[in-house]
Amino acid sequence: MYDAIILAGGENSEHLSKFSSQSYEAMIEIAGKPMVTFVADALAASPQVERIFIMGPIPQLKKCDFPKDTILLEGGRTLVETIQLGMKALGHNNKVLVVTADIPLLTPEAIADFFRQCATEEADLYYPIVSKEINNKYYPGSKRTYVRFKDGTYTGGNIFLVNPAIVPQCLVVAEKLIDNRKNPFKLCCLLGWGFVLQFLLGTLSLIKVRERVETLLGITGAVVQSRYPELGIDVDKPSDLELVRTTFSFRI
């Protein structure tokens, strides 16, 4: 079993603030409930998940109805600092699931499939991707950031399985990767100019990117090709919020 950390400290963006007065993105309401509660419920319903830690603004989080025994912790000043604090709170070096609070469509089935694929190989960091074809099949109105590889066109997920022991050595580079996760060109620049050229020509392969990231971070990594787009549909712009609210309106 795995512990899980939900990152819930991100402030409401300028674009989303026009549609919700909440100060924090995790607290934006979906179907009458704060967005973060759907993520916590999906994790609690997953047999592979043991403890759930939620990192963010304690006063706001205390108002939420979370699953029993959920642990609330104050987040740091930055995303990287928050991850550091969360890893320290675990009290162990077993692999931990790190999830953002802005993927309310997350399901136990998607989590189970992710864990199942992670179990097929040993790595320090597991990162999911979803093909454009699968994403458009299930959520045709979703506007995602895609990267065209030689292997296909993919968008990234917002759930990671991490070995806590690697966190200290990865912080500087990881922060840059996280800051530019929505900009494929800048990500390629961080990897090197050879990758920029391959990216522009559409000849960049998944295996080459994985190997380069492993070298930069000094870790072993694994890319998980998921058939569950719910792992990557994050709410960071008005069209995402509309999509998620519409989806839940059909579920009720």
CA distances from 220 to 15, 61, 88, 112, 124 (A): 37, 34, 21, 22, 5
Q: What is the pLDDT of residues 81-112, one digit of tens each?
A: 888 888 888 888 899 999 999 999 999 999 99
Provide the domain limits for residue 133. 2-251
For the packed helices 167-179 and 184-191, what is the interaxial angle rounded to 10 degrees? 140
Sorting pLDDT into bands at 50, 70 and 90, what band is 150? confident
Q: How far apart are CA 230 and CA 119, in angstroms?
A: 20
Banded model confidence at residue 35, pLDDT cuts 50, 70, 90: very high
Q: Is the pLDDT of residue 18 over 80?
A: no
Q: What average pLDDT does the structure give for the chain? A: 85
pLDDT at 122: 94
Distance CA 102, CA 38 (A): 9
pLDDT-wise least confident of 56-70, 167-181, 228-242: 167-181
Q: Phi, psi at residue 155, to the nearest 5°?
A: -120, 155
What is the band of 186 on the pLDDT scale with cuts at 50, 70, 90? low
Q: Do residues 199 and 184 make contact, with C-beta atoms less than 8 angstroms apart?
A: yes
Q: In the predicted model, is pLDDT for residue 14 greater than 70? A: no
**Average pLDDT over every residue of 163-179:** 71
Lowest mean pLDDT among 30-39, 50-59, 210-219, 236-245: 210-219
Q: Is 168 left (phi over 0), alpha (psi -120 to 50) or beta?
A: alpha
Amino acid found at 113:
D
Give pLDDT, residue 99: 94
When mean pLDDT is compared across 74-78, 122-126, 225-229, the lowest value belongs to 74-78
Number of compact structural domains in the chain: 1
Residue % of the chain over a pLDDT of 90: 41
| DSSP collapsed to 3 states, 31-94 | CCEEHHHHHHHHHHCCCCEEEEEEEECHHHHCCCCCCCCCEEEECCCCHHHHHHHHHHHHCCCC
What's the rounded mean pLDDT across residues 236-243? 86
**Interatomic CA distance for residues 45 and 61, integer angstroms:** 20
pLDDT, tens digit, 9 for 90 and up, residues 187-239? 666 666 565 666 666 667 788 778 877 877 788 889 899 999 999 898 888 88
Could you tell me the CATH number of the domain that includes residue 198? 3.90.550.10
